[in-house]
A and B are shown apart, each in its own frame.
Chain A
Amino acid sequence: MKVHVIVMPKRTVLDPQGMVVKNAIKELGFAGVQHVRVGKFLELEFAHQPEKFRLETLCRDLLSNPVIEDFVIQSEADASGSE
């Protein structure tokens, strides 16, 4: 089963990459863009559904740095559960 993890820089952290991308978008004529932030998208594939607690620990310890980043976990199980 697949688990998606989105890692984004915290709002309080300066994101120079996002600022450069925003300027490039403006240059292309998309005048309305106000803010761009660049993060990471990770796709993890497991043989079995991992425990939620262990997955969160993994995200906190390795996949993100809580000092500068926030993460969101999206798993297939969550998606089917909410339908």
Chain B
Amino acid sequence: MRIAVLQFPGSNCDQDCLRAFREGLGAEADYLWHKNTSLSGFDGIVIPGGFSYGDYLRCGAIARFSPVMKPVIEAAGAGMPVIGICNGFQILCEAGLLPGALLRNRTLHFVCKMSLLRLETEGTPFTARLRKGQILRLPIAHGEGAYYANETILADIEAHDQVIFRYVDAFGKVTDQANPNGSLHNIAGICNEKRNILGMMPHPDRAWDQRIGSVDGISIFRSMLETAVALR
């Protein structure tokens, strides 16, 4: 049972992700450089945050063509759990593994703060340890995190229950004020229709130990790990 943490030139949350799995969960996890063309020996994939290829052209636009993305797309198609965090979410959208895109924050500012999220659905490899309606405290840190999809796609992902997390206020309500970046429908994280690929802007990798401010992220990784074990 082994988790791959992908590394692109410019990834900068790879160490956080690796430590979350190794120290937070005692799991086996290793880096996988983006030039690799095989995922052999791995049972789950983490695409970490950062600024792959300096965010040149568009966030994630160049990383999606890296050699490692070919086996990632194949493994994702075969049902392997894949989580993309922040820049990882942007890469998954650019690769067409998740619908929609992430735009410049509506304020044009980089936002770096704690956010509150409400779990909107169950029945994914990432949420087995959580309850629908539960509020999670996870930090966000991004300049391009405004989730966008056209009306048809948006209606489709809502109808298929693919919205996993929404930004909410302290009362758990979806409000415009609680929306840090202008995401449509306050969307903070979505999954694909088969529900084995999760993309989210907030960082569970920065919330797996009380010493760093929150432990709410560890349940997401633990759920993913347990699913990967079960699928093995």
Contact = CB atoms under 8 A, between A and B. Distances in A.
Interface of A: 12-14, 16-17, 20, 62-63, 65, 67-68
Contact of B107 (A16, A62, A68): A16
Q: Which residue of B65, B106, B148, B149 has the most chain A CB atoms within 10 A of its CB atom? A: B148
Contacts of A68: 101, 103, 148
Interface centre among A17, A62, A65 (most CB of B within 10 A): A65
Interface in B75-106: 93-94, 99-101, 103-106
Contacts of B2: none
B150 interface: yes
A20 B93 CA distance: 27
A62 B65 contact: yes
Given A14-B106, A62-B62, A65-B58, 15 more contacts: A12-B150, A13-B148, A14-B103, A14-B146, A14-B182, A17-B104, A17-B108, A62-B65, A65-B94, A67-B93, A67-B100, A67-B148, A67-B149, A68-B103, A68-B148
Nearest to B107: A16
Contacts of A12: 150
Interface in B174-221: 182
B61 interface: yes
B104 A63 contact: no
A20 to B, nearest CB: 6
A67 B101 contact: yes
A52 B217 CA distance: 48
A20 B108 contact: yes
B55 to A, nearest CB: 13
Contacts of A20: 108
Contacts of A62: 57, 61-62, 65
A16 B65 CA distance: 28
Closest 5 CB pairs of A and B: A67-B101, A68-B101, A16-B106, A16-B108, A65-B101
A32 B116 CA distance: 42
Interface string B62-81: 10010000000000000000
24 contacts: A12-B150, A13-B103, A13-B148, A14-B103, A14-B106, A16-B104, A16-B107, A16-B108, A16-B182, A17-B104, A17-B108, A62-B57, A62-B61, A62-B62, A62-B65, A63-B57, A65-B94, A65-B101, A67-B99, A67-B101, A67-B148, A67-B149, A67-B150, A68-B103
